[in-house]
Structure 1
Amino acid sequence: MAEVHATAHARAALVGNPSDGYHGATLATVLRDFSAEATARDAPKDDLPDIELVEATVRRFRRFAILRGHTDTDRPVAITVSSTIPERVGLAGSSAIVVAVLRALSGLFEVPIPRQELPSLALAVEVEELGIMAGLQDRVAQVYDTLVLMDFARGEQRPVGQGAYEPLDPALLPPLYVAWRPDAAEPSQIVHQDLRARFDRGELRVHIAMAELRELALAARAALLEGDLERFGGLIDRTANIRSGVLDLKPEHWRMVELARGCGATANYTGSGGAIVGTHTGPEMMAAIRSALEGDGCRVIEPVVTPPASG
């Protein structure tokens, strides 16, 4: 029987989040330390894990395929999934599962999904099939599998539901750390539902914040290309500060930011909450970050953001 295996990595937003769902722009990277994996194979009958997310992904893929003239995607399929991404701490574990399953199905049924369209298809699984509030950022980073500047400003000449995506060399990034608090998880829809309602109501403070966050992401791209890492770090901090002005943040999440900054590091939320990312200046500061955050119950890594060398 035919079998296809696929992977998608964890994601950390760096600058501009969470403006991706609000006509803003963000800079985000994948973290190769963690991944979701999916295998799709032919089977006598559909054999899917008892995971609503996977069922919705298969359903959406089949609809996508039929609309593009592929008529054999109703044949039975077996799916298995696994993930090492810490759950519900803002590292994009759910979207990684969706992207991995879509990639596996695309390969098994030989239904090409253009790279520019795959993030929107993955987002539709959660938003349209399951009613979960989310933005494109996670899926874009995972589909392009690298550091990406993504701009979702209105008025651009691009298909509806897509942004302008610019992959960047992750080697441009300064040394990073990522920390998360396993005991303070928070589903992303809790954050996004309230923010979406306020944005849709036209709350001026939220609209101003999203516009500012877009400018920060564009400035972060420029800082990296110019090699101005000090300015880049300041933009990471500024993103988190703007977030704190428009969202009711959990004290235990914001404490991670304060502890890291107390060591001289920069800090921003990687996503909806529960994990942070920032820059450091080297081993001495990294040791201080580990001591402070691990002493407060967090887990800390220096993430791998560049792909392994070929050959």
Structure 2
Amino acid sequence: MGSDSSAAIEHRAYARVGLLGNPSDVYHGRAISFSLGNFWASVRLEPSKDLVIVPHPTNDLVQFESLPHLVNRLESDGYYGGVRLLMAICKIFCKYCKDNSITLHEGNFKLSYDTNIPRQTGLSGSSAIVCAALSCLLDFYDVRHLIKVEIRPNLILNAEKELGIVAGLQDRVAQVYGGLVYMDFDKKHMEELGHGKYEPMDIGLLPHLYLIYAENPSDSGKVHSTVRERWLSGDKFIRSTIEEVANIALEGREALIKRDYAKFASLMNRNFDLRRKMFGDDVLGALNIEMVEVARRVGAASKFTGSGGAVVVFCPEGDSQAKEVEDACKNGGFVFQPVQVMSSRLNEIDLETVSPI
């Protein structure tokens, strides 16, 4: 796609579910994640005379009815819309191309976005916007073949780091690759190549899964966690538990390949229990814990999709058990819905850039 192109480009990036192994991805661990088709962010790029980043009509509100309206808005949604995310990926993309001698044509564009990913649900809403924007930039400048697929999650993460967002590679890998992905963030591999080992898996290996989330996730993230500091200082309990969490992803990969769903269910539960031991209930939040418990009370397996706000559920006993979870969610004021897993969206050009594992 050259500089004379006048066609608009539009890309979607889906929410993601951290299925097993989280939160070991920032600690040289392993993880399994998949693309969640229920929610997505879309970015539209249109060639234009000037470079324009278009504010979203609700997420980037700058006009208010009154001072109380402004204050209420900031207290519920914070200062963060998507404009800053689009600006950050433009900067990181431009810098990467310059540093790697990738020539960009001089055309300008207008970027706009939309998203239906619920806020503060741990479904990676921010990185979805950045991922979709990066796809638009790759096509507008016709450089998709020059930027390897395994490098793209790093660009997305670096854009978020620009804004002070603390995160790991797992979410971005899931969103770039799409489908179901097993990831190994081996320290030596990361230091030598700058990225982990990413292995796409067949989405047909997954059993039917469900999603629970709170429409108003009010108590997530209020209490600061000391896990990172403790890990860095060599805390034996944190170090050994993180290693166990990483091994859950490894065992989970085997369980899925063998379709050993009883084992898979126990690994989901174990993953959450280990997280709870490390972080403590004050950090996880009562509402988040209740979302896990509401499924477990009827024998379903459940764990966070990310760092809280939403829960992924597996009902080993099938539809009747799912109905019990659904009824309990209605009583608890939670949203319950079947998970739609999206297959990989990598095209032929993308696949040609993928290094063998």
Same fold (TM over 0.5): yes
Residue 197 (structure 1) aligned with residue 229 (structure 2): yes
2:206 equivalent in structure 1: 173
One-letter amino acid of the structure 2 residue matched with residue 240 of structure 1 = F
Correspondence for 1:30 among 29, 35, 56: 35
1:301 equivalent in structure 2: 337
The structural deviation recorded for 1:41 is: 2.0
CA distance in 2, matches of 1:95, 1:306: 17
CA distance in 2, matches of 1:230, 1:73: 54
Q: Summarize the alignment of residues 44-63 of structure 1 with structure 2, pairs less than 5 Å apart.
A: 44-50=49-55, 51-63=83-95
CA distance in 2, matches of 1:186, 1:152: 31
The structural deviation recorded for 1:69 is: 2.4
Q: Given that residues 151 and 163 in structure 1 are in contact (C-alpha distance below 8 angstroms), is that contact kept between their aligned partners in structure 2?
A: yes
Residue 284 (structure 1) aligned with residue 320 (structure 2): yes
The structural deviation recorded for 1:195 is: 3.1
Q: Summarize the alignment of residues 220-231 of structure 1 with structure 2, pairs less than 5 Å apart.
A: 220-231=252-263
1:114 equivalent in structure 2: 148
Correspondence for 1:206 among 228, 238, 241: 238
Q: Summarize the alignment of residues 211-290 of structure 1 with structure 2, pairs less than 5 Å apart.
A: 211-247=243-279, 248-280=283-315, 281-290=317-326
Residue 133 (structure 1) aligned with residue 169 (structure 2): no
Residue 153 (structure 1) aligned with residue 176 (structure 2): no
Q: Given that residues 212 and 313 in structure 2 are in contact (C-alpha distance below 8 angstroms), is that contact kept between their aligned partners in structure 1?
A: no
Q: Give the count of matched residue pairs.
A: 306
1:70 equivalent in structure 2: 102
Correspondence for 1:123 among 136, 154, 157: 157
Give unmatched runs, 5+ long, in structure 2.
1-5, 56-82, 345-357
When the two chains are superposed, the root-mean-square deviation of aligned CA atoms in Å is 2.0
SS in 1 for 2:187: coil
2:118 equivalent in structure 1: 86
One-letter amino acid of the structure 1 residue matched with residue 262 of structure 2 = E
Gap change, CA 1:159 and 1:32, over 3 Å in 2? farther
Q: Given that residues 89 and 186 in structure 1 are in contact (C-alpha distance below 8 angstroms), is that contact kept between their aligned partners in structure 2?
A: no
TM-score, scaled relative to structure 2: 0.81
One-letter amino acid of the structure 2 residue matched with residue 105 of structure 1 = L
CA distance in 1, matches of 2:125, 2:224: 16
Gap change, CA 1:157 and 1:124, over 3 Å in 2? closer
One-letter amino acid of the structure 2 residue matched with residue 210 of structure 1 = I
Q: Name the larger-Rg structure.
A: 2
Q: Summarize the alignment of residues 12-31 of structure 1 with structure 2, pairs less than 5 Å apart.
A: 12-31=17-36
CA distance in 1, matches of 2:220, 2:151: 25
- Per-residue displacement from partner, 1:175-195 (whole Å, max 9, x unpaired)? 10111112115777x789743
CA distance in 2, matches of 1:199, 1:284: 42
The structural deviation recorded for 1:108 is: 0.6
Q: Given that residues 214 and 335 in structure 2 are in contact (C-alpha distance below 8 angstroms), is that contact kept between their aligned partners in structure 1?
A: yes
SS in 2 for 1:300: strand
SS in 2 for 1:14: strand
The structural deviation recorded for 1:203 is: 2.2
CA distance in 1, matches of 2:219, 2:45: 30
Mean Cα deviation higher: 257-266 or 160-169: 160-169
The structural deviation recorded for 1:62 is: 1.1
Give unmatched runs, 5+ long, in structure 1.
none
CA distance in 2, matches of 1:224, 1:293: 27
One-letter amino acid of the structure 2 residue matched with residue 273 of structure 1 = G
Mean Cα deviation higher: 138-147 or 298-307: 298-307
CA distance in 2, matches of 1:132, 1:124: 9
The structural deviation recorded for 1:160 is: 4.1
Identity %: 34
Gap change, CA 1:159 and 1:221, over 3 Å in 2? same
CA distance in 2, matches of 1:192, 1:219: 30
